[in-house]
Amino acid sequence: MPRLQIFTVSTRPGRKGEAIARWFEQHARLHAKFEVEMVDLKAVNLPILDEPEHPRLQKYQHDHTKAWSASVSRADAFVFVTPEYNYSSPPSLVNAMDYLVHEWAYKPVGFVSYGGVSGGTRSVQMTKLLVTGLKMMPMTEAVHLPFFMRSFAPDGTFAPDEAQANAAAVMLDELLRWTNALAPLRA
C-alpha cells in the first residue's frame, strides 16, 4: 500500500490545525487505500534553513536535516493540512520544503486548507507554486474550510458537515490515482 503522510503545518501554541488534521486522518483511515503516517511540523521542529550546501546536492550536515530527508523519502504522497497566514503559505511549510529537493519529486500532494472567507485558498495557491518547482503534483480536488471556527464542537473536536467529508474522499481518490501513475517516476 502506498504511504500517505498527512502534515500538520501549523506550529503555533493553541493551533487549530491539530484538530483539523485529526479529522482528516480519520477520513484517510476510512478510505483505507493508503498507509497513513502523521507528520507534525511542530514536532519535526526544524530551525530556519541552516544547511550550507544547496539541498539538491544532498550533502546534509545536520542530523535534523538527515532525519527530515529520511522522513520525506518514506512518503509516496502527501496531504498538507494548512492555514493561511497573511494571504500566504505558512513559513513552517515553506521552510520544511526548502530543506530538500529530490525527496519531494514525483509525489502528489493534496490540500486541506482553512481560514476565514478564503478557506485558506490563497495559501494553497501560493504553495502550489512552490511544490511544482520541486516536481510535485498538486491536486485540483481539495478540502477548503471557510469560517472553519464554526465547525468546532464544544469539546474541541472538529466536526464539519457531510460535504467536507465527501470532499475529503474525492481528494483521496484523486491522490491515489496520481500516486499510482507517478510510481514509475519515483522508482
Ligand X SMILES: Cc1cc2nc3c(=O)[nH]c(=O)nc-3n(C[C@H](O)[C@H](O)[C@H](O)COP(=O)(O)O)c2cc1C
Judged by the rule CB under 6 A, the positions of this chain that interact with ligand X are 10, 12, 15-17, 83-87, 115-116, 118
Closest distance to ligand X from the beta carbon of 90 (Å) = 7
Distance between CA atoms of 14 and 70, rounded to whole angstroms? 29
Closest distance to ligand X from the beta carbon of 72 (Å) = 21
State which residue has the least CB distance to ligand X. 115
User: Which residue, 47 or 91, is less far from ligand X as judged by CB?
Assistant: 91
Neighbours of 63 (CB within 10 A): 8
C-alpha cell recorded at residue 11 = 506550529
Distance between CA atoms of 54 and 142, rounded to whole angstroms? 32
User: Which residue, 66 or 91, is less far from ligand X as judged by CB?
Assistant: 91
Neighbours of 46 (CB within 10 A): 18
Tell me the CB-side half-sphere exposure of residue 185, using CA atoms within 13 A: 16
User: Which residue, 11 or 179, is less far from ligand X as judged by CB?
Assistant: 11
C-alpha cell recorded at residue 72 = 520525506
Closest distance to ligand X from the beta carbon of 152 (Å) = 10
Closest distance to ligand X from the beta carbon of 187 (Å) = 35
Closest distance to ligand X from the beta carbon of 173 (Å) = 26
Distance between CA atoms of 10 and 40, rounded to whole angstroms? 8
Going from the C-alpha of 84 to that of each of 44, 59, 126, 146, the distances in angstroms are 20, 32, 10, 11
User: Which residue, 51 or 84, is less far from ligand X as judged by CB?
Assistant: 84
User: Which residue, 58 or 118, is less far from ligand X as judged by CB?
Assistant: 118
